[in-house]
Structure 1
Amino acid sequence: MKKSSFPWFKLLIATAAIAVLVGFAAKDLAPNVPVAWVLAYAFAGGVLFVIAILLVMWIKFLVNRFLLNAGATDTDWLWFKSDPRGIQSLRGRDVSDQSKDI
C-alpha cells in the first residue's frame, strides 16, 4: 500500500471527532432539530473549515514560492535585526555562479 504524504484519514477522523463534540454541545441551541441533523451540520461545517485552512495554506505556499524564486529573502529571517552573513554577496551574484558553490 502506497503511503500518502498527507495523513488524510487522520484528518477525517479528527474532523469527525471534533464535529461530534461540537454537535452534542450545540444540540441544546436548537431543541426541535434532531441530533443526527445537528451532527451532520457540525460535520459539514468542520469539513468546510478544514478545506478553507488547506486552501489558505496552499495559496500561502504558492506566494512564498513565487517570492523566493523572484529573489526575496526567506521570511524566517524577518525575526532578526539584520540579514544573515553572506547574503549581501549572494545577492550580487548571477544564478549560474551559485551552482558552483554546491
Structure 2
Amino acid sequence: MKMKTVQSPIVAKVLLASGLISAFLMYFLTQLLPGVSMMSLALYLALGTTALIAILMSVVIISMTVRQFILRSGGTDTQWLWFPEDPPGLVALRNKRRVVVAAKGDIT
C-alpha cells in the first residue's frame, strides 16, 4: 500500500493560516493586556497552542483505539447502520467466530 505524501502547497497554506491567526491573536492580546510584553504573549500563545494540539491528538488516539477494540471484538461499524442489513459476509464471519469460541469452551 502506497503512503500518501503531504504536498508542499498544503503545508505552506497551513503555516500561512497559522501565522495569520497567531498575528491576529497577538494584536488583540496586546490591546487587551497592555502591561504584558510581546514576548510573554507569544510564549503564552505558543504554549496554549501546543497544549491544545496535545489534548486533541490524545483524544483522537484514544477514540481510535477504543473504536478499533470494538471492531476487533465483533462490533459493527456504525456507518453500516445506514443499510437495512449487515454487510455481506459478516453473518458468516460471526457464525464462524461463534463456532471457534464454542470449541474453546468459552461461554461469552
Distance 2:85 2:32 in 1: 53
- Residues 1:95 and 1:24: Cα distance change in structure 2 (over 3 Å): farther
The residue aligned with 2:47 is: 44
Q: Contact 1:19–1:46 (CA<8 Å) still a contact in 2?
A: no
Match of 1:54 in 2: 57
Query: 2:31 is paired with a residue of what secondary structure?
Result: coil
Unaligned 5+ runs, structure 2: 6-10, 101-108
TM, length-normalised to structure 1: 0.66
Please tell me the root mean square deviation across aligned C-alpha atoms, in Å: 3.1
The equivalent residue for 1:100 is: none
Tell me the equivalent position of 2:38. Answer: 35
Cα drift, residue 62 of structure 1: 1.2
Report the counterpart of residue 26 of structure 1 in structure 2.
Answer: 29
The answer for unaligned runs of 5 or more in structure 1 is: 98-102
1:63 Cα offset (Å): 0.3
Percent sequence identity over aligned pairs: 28
> Residues 16 and 43 of structure 1 are in contact (CA less than 8 Å); yes or no, is this contact kept in structure 2?
no
**Contact persistence 1:20–1:39 (CA under 8 A):** no
| Larger RCO (CA under 8 A, 6+ residues apart) | 1
TM-score, normalised by the number of residues in structure 2: 0.62
SS in 1 for 2:92: helix
Q: By how many angstroms is 1:75 displaced?
A: 2.8
Residue 78 of structure 2 corresponds to: 75
Larger Rg: 2
In 2: Cα distance, 1:27 partner to 1:79 partner: 50
Deviating beyond 6 angstroms after TM superposition, the runs of 4 or more aligned structure 1 residues are: none
Q: What is the one-letter code of the residue matched to 1:49?
A: L
Task: Give the C-alpha shift of residue 72 in structure 1.
Answer: 0.5
